[in-house]
Structure 1
């Protein structure tokens, strides 16, 4: 992450902060290389073999995550710069989402909400007046069509304004989109969850409800596992219905246009409305009526599978369904209604 002690401070341009961070880690990596060389020399001197064994250490062998020579050994300096910036920006986005859910805070280092049963009251007990507060209902919409005042893109823009200054927002958004190679909305809709699942080794702590089990769902929403309650799916259901109504209004307006592009977009939205209706009837409403409880001690694998088709399919988790269905130790084991194998593809 961008650490204030490493050159990134509120009010900085993000591009400058990333550059300072790169300079910091280049310096730290070289310092570590010199320590390892000195260690080798001391051992060689102790055995009187200084002239017989090499003591030098290549920078590529210094195993620090932020050492670009170690992390991207086969790339050119230019590509290393690009990959370093992209990795840092993605980690910043991940941290921002954590702040949106109350896992982290700009006002206090370390984890804030990360234990079973913790609520916003626990958050405010630690941070009474946060500069950037967590989402109230633990559901953040992630949709291609801009329909909500509290969706993930809006919240991310607020985060950047607080963390790096409102006066730098436009420049920081432009820099992030240049580094990602796409708009922030497209990144959140198409890529963020893939990166999150990879970061957490197929055991995500943010779960994505999706109207399709692959990555093509029109409606998506993120929730934080540690703040999940039996009512969470009901909250998502309300967002789904609201989303379907909003895009129906947009479709009505576009259909009155004479432009071919508008009519094409209206047809796309009509298809999305049908998709959302099917998701509601076949999946989300039945799950919401169950008021499903989870126990964090059961682990992500068991709990994720118990959510059935409501969540985005993760192949590495899905392939464990048959095995997990035989386990008897979980507090809430898979039941018959949880055991349907899904065929969603990434």
Structure 2
């Protein structure tokens, strides 16, 4: 765990303010476009995606890469599940895919793009092989790029942000991000009782809202899978395995929500998605990388969850 300061790596845990965890804004915010008007044109073979199989933010981009059939167009590197003194590494291990240029640590990729970079070194990262720089390290924006920018160069057809639904998708995304995706981190990284409790109550108010919403529909927005579903489900995949115990988000479990549990299983069983989920990386990362929360780094055996159990809804 750490960050770069003027291009020099420092091992430093997250700081909290009044007990609150505050996520740092992403620093690389360029965009790939079909016409290249941003300087980054959608082209097969030009871009490379760095992810962690443990990280829900990176996972959303991995799902979109798979659903859009971009595996042969956009390269992939997968970091080791343990994030230790050097942050994310490419240490050998099951599921790890090395950096094609031989970096041992992800912070070296950031420094390759900007030698004086200051900030957290996070995944996902979309790298431009041609310009030898980072296009973006903002997961929501990478997700949207992958969802549409490459349609003209052979991506699998499929619109995950239809114009008629975009306002509603953005509204749902905003609440889910603040109280669910980031909400579990606000609870887990809180350093005061009151801050922790406020985050947990907000989280479960939103889970209750989602449960009611999904009792009336198969998807969060519209009649088919959209970006909003992809952004929510990566947190749901991790909820009982990690967030209930490790982050103390234990008012209820995912399996205590009939609609959310059915919905999460349905998305897991969508062709291509199950192959992006690695519970060994997920549990190994959270329980092994946060010594302030789990100093002995013991990884629990359970819970036992049947993700293959037939879901009522169909994606």
TM range (shorter): under 0.3
Which structure is higher in helix share? 1
TM-score (norm 1): 0.26
TM-score (norm 2): 0.27
Which structure is higher in strand share? 2
Which of structures 1 and 2 has the larger relative contact order (alpha carbons within 8 angstroms, sep 6+)?
2
Pick the structure with greater CA Rg.
1
